[in-house]
Amino acid sequence: MKTVKHDFGDNSHPLTDLDSNLSLPQLEQPRQNTWKKPLTYLGLILAGAGITVASLHLLPYTQPLPQALQPSLAETANQASGNLATDSNPNFITAVVHQVGSAVVRIDSTRTIKNPNAAIFNDPLIQQFFGYDLPKVPSQEIERGIGSGFIIDSNGEVLTNAHVVNGADTVSVTLKDGRTFKGKVMGADPVTDIAVVKIEANNLPTVRLGNSDKLQPGAWAIAIGNPLGLDNTVTHGIISAIGRSSSQVGMPNERVDYIQTDAPINPGNSGGPLLNASGEVVGINTAIIQNSEGLGFAIPINTAKKIATQLISTGKVNHPYLGIQMLTLTPEVKEQINSDPNSPITVEESQGVLIVKVAPKSPANTGGIRAGDVIVKANNQPINNAQELQQAVENTSAGKSLQLQIMRNRQILNLSLEPRALPANTK
């Protein structure tokens, strides 16, 4: 079981498979966690402790898309920029920082939480036993967090992590020039950990968004943010790996294939940009593995662009789901399942995706999927692991069917399922 620390709070809560409680619709949850160390979001807590589950009103917005999200403008800028990392420019990192730094912001947020000690210290019996000189403990306290973000539109749209602003009572955005603005959360998507914040300003400096699909391990990586509250800190390294699944890095609740980088990032970097050598944003710094060096993770900017576009236009994101818990099959996994005397199922296949559980009243349940089934194809494409199946579900538009080929009791079955929108409270 993984433990994830969020931006708001020094205490942690266990992160378990979503499908462990099947009374609610669940995410397509891969059951494979390889990290032994807990993953930490990169927010910084200044005061207070605890995690609140306050609801956040997502405000729809119908203005034109920010400049950074308009493909034609981004492509034109990319063609004109060139690569700053050349033999004739040994100080290309300085050039990147000069080009991008003014568009990186600090995000401060506050939220009101219940004080867990209030009920104990204010109990009349406790007061009587220890004496009435015990100090009164307030029932609520204010929690303050620090994160980062970057401006994607000159009229004040800022891209950041959802966990930086989710449930916040107040959000403020501070520019590099010292100006501070009140922020309004246009929308936040916890499934991908992306949020857009709006500030009332214009003629602001903006970043250029790159193409994270073209990233290669070994490429330069530059991070700008507010680690440990130290504003506008710059670090650099390389892209260590791409396509790290959410289950691999210890956040199976999220639907992201992460960029891994060794560029030093710390609490407070959450929501800040990860840049390439041309000064283009290729990722959003999000998390690190605790007590380790060189293991940071960023959300690919192509994922962020897709989500931000929906948040800006509607204030929310509809993620399709089936309602299954699943496991990638390998010969080793097959042997482990079949050799376990307590296993409720046996497996004949050594490749594909094993269905471990099915949520009641879910699309998978009504579509005929059963625990013990092995999915081998989706829309006539081979499925080799849980991430491929999850991506196939994510790519299925609302109202469209997903064609699955499964193995059940050594027989091939073809099923047609219609994924539904993931309920907002599932996350």
Q: How far apart are CA 276 and CA 260, in angstroms?
A: 13
Q: Spot the catalytic one: 19, 153, 163, 247.
A: 163
Question: Which parts of 271-346 are beta strand (E)?
Answer: 273-275, 280-289, 296-300, 320-321, 324-329
Question: Which parts of 290-417 are beta strand (E)?
Answer: 296-300, 320-321, 324-329, 352-358, 374-378, 381-382, 402-408, 411-417
> Is 401 in the active site?
no
For 300, the 3-state DSSP assignment is strand
Element containing residue 232 per DSSP (H, E)? none
375, 389 contact by CB (below 8 A) = yes
CA distances from 51 to 6, 144, 315, 396 (A): 8, 12, 23, 34
- Specify the pairing of strand 29-30 against strand 194-199: unpaired
Q: How far apart are CA 378 and CA 404, in angstroms?
A: 5
For 80, the 3-state DSSP assignment is helix
Q: Spot the catalytic one: 109, 240, 246, 270.
A: 270
Q: Spot the catalytic one: 7, 19, 193, 257.
A: 193
CA distances from 325 to 341, 355, 390 (A): 21, 6, 11
Q: How far apart are CA 291 and CA 39, in angstroms?
A: 10
> Is 163 in the active site?
yes
> Is 193 in the active site?
yes
Question: Which parts of 60-126 are beta strand (E)?
Answer: 104-114
What is the distance, to the nearest Å, from the Cα of residue 74 to the centroid of all Cα atoms in its chain?
24
Catalytic residues, which ones?
163, 193, 270
